[in-house]
A and B are shown apart, each in its own frame.
Chain A
Amino acid sequence: MRAILRTIGELSITLGVVLLLFCAYLLWGTSSYTERHQRLLQQQLVAEQAEKTLGKIQLGGAVALLKLPRLGATYKYAIVEGIEDEHLRQGPGHYPGSAQPGEVGNFVVSGHRTTYAAPFNRIDELEKGDDIVIDAREARYTYKVTGTKIVEPTEVDVIEPVPGRPGKKAEKAVITLSTCHPEYSARQRLIVFGTLAKTEERDVI
């Protein structure tokens, strides 16, 4: 009897330690995967910028560099094309079919909040008027934050060409960032909206 109880106790403690280790893996272990792929995506962007003709961005390819000065001068992530798990593990993902950087319509990007290097961990700190810099291959687009919102995961209005107005034709270039909310939960989504404020063309070599 005592032996059985002891074994149950030992198994319980072991399970607890394994769960703690799994949490550590989620928070830190997944980051190394993202960092490895970020290096590759950023190299891809630099290489493509040097090309004379810019080809269409393939699923899984690098779209642009995202910079958020509010979160520090070193904040820099390559946006990947696609929003499936495999894409979002590599960095913030651009919804295929939503507008391209700088294009009239809605440029929609989703990113992880807590795992896989957590690129969007602190986007709740963005304030109205803050810059969202998108360094695309052909130009630098600077969007200004116009507001943030917490929505249910089913509210797909926010990724419409005109956010919140399904079916309406877009006249402005806007950006929408989305991540999970609250932190460590999949219950809701945190959305940050922005409008294109400045375009700086880049000379293609």
Chain B
Amino acid sequence: MYGFVWRHLPGNTAAKLVGMLLLLGLAGLFLWYGVFPWLEPRVALDEVTVG
């Protein structure tokens, strides 16, 4: 999976590394601001009220 991405990134090793970090960063941001806020209310970890 990561090998596939690595082979398709353009440029030399340094450029590939930058591209890879950029992609991972984007994925992280998408999770943090998109997926997690949606997911959080669906896992009841911190239920505080009675009844």
A residues with a Cβ closer than 8 A to B are 6-7, 10-11, 14, 18, 21-22, 25-26, 29-30, 83, 85, 88, 95, 110-116, 120, 151, 153-156, 158-159, 178-180, 184-186, 189
> Are the C-beta atoms of B31 and A113 separated by less than 8 Å?
no
Q: How many residues of B contact A (CB 8 A)?
A: 18
CB closest chain-A residue, reference B2: A10
> Are the C-beta atoms of A159 and B51 separated by less than 8 Å?
yes
Cα distance A156–B50 when bound, in Å? 6
B residues with a Cβ closer than 8 A to A are 1-3, 28, 31-32, 36, 39-41, 44-51
Q: Which residues of A contact B39 (CB under 8 A)?
A: 22
Q: How many inter-chain contacts with C-beta < 8 Å in the A-B complex? A: 72
Cα distance A156–B36 when bound, in Å? 31
> Are the C-beta atoms of B44 and A186 separated by less than 8 Å?
yes
With beta carbons under 8 angstroms apart, the residue of B32, B45, B50 that contacts A29 is: B32
Q: List 8 A-B contacts (CB under 8 A).
A: A6-B1, A18-B31, A21-B28, A30-B40, A114-B45, A115-B45, A158-B50, A185-B45
